[in-house]
Amino acid sequence: VAVKSALETQHVAAQATIQALKNEVKSLEALVHATDTMPPPPTIPNPILVTPPFVEIAKEKEAETSVAEIFSEWKKSVQGQWISVQEEWSQEHEMLNHARQEFEAKTR
């Protein structure tokens, strides 16, 4: 009897939840329908901006200068790294020559 009573209580609660959800769905559907029937908001045209030719030329020169500066900085960086690598190779070459000379001296 207690189990039956508990199940009936759960059933009543579930039915109430289902009814509440149905009502919520109906209100949301009505809101969607109302939104669909509304006319679209007026669009504001974007203004057309005309840039004077001298401004465009100045921007192009600035961009060229900027690219030239970037390239110059990159070139300096690469040259600095290359000098470092050359120095390392030179040291390695000297070390190998010394090791070769020692080896030849020991094998004689």
Distance CA 98, CA 91 (A): 11
Secondary element (H or E) of residue 25: helix 2-37
Q: What is the mean pLDDT of residues 87-107?
A: 92
pLDDT at position 105 over 80: yes
Q: What single letter denotes the amino acid at residue 29? A: E
Identify which of 106, 1, 21 has the alpha carbon closest to the alpha carbon of residue 98.
106
Quick one: pLDDT band at residue 54, thresholds 50, 70, 90? low
Q: Where are the domains of the chain?
A: 1-44, 45-108
Would you state the structure tokens that stand for residue 88, as one six-digit string?
A: 């390392």
Q: What is the pLDDT of residues 3-53, one digit of tens each?
A: 888 899 999 999 999 999 999 999 999 888 887 777 766 777 776 666 666
Q: What is the pTM of this model?
A: 0.35
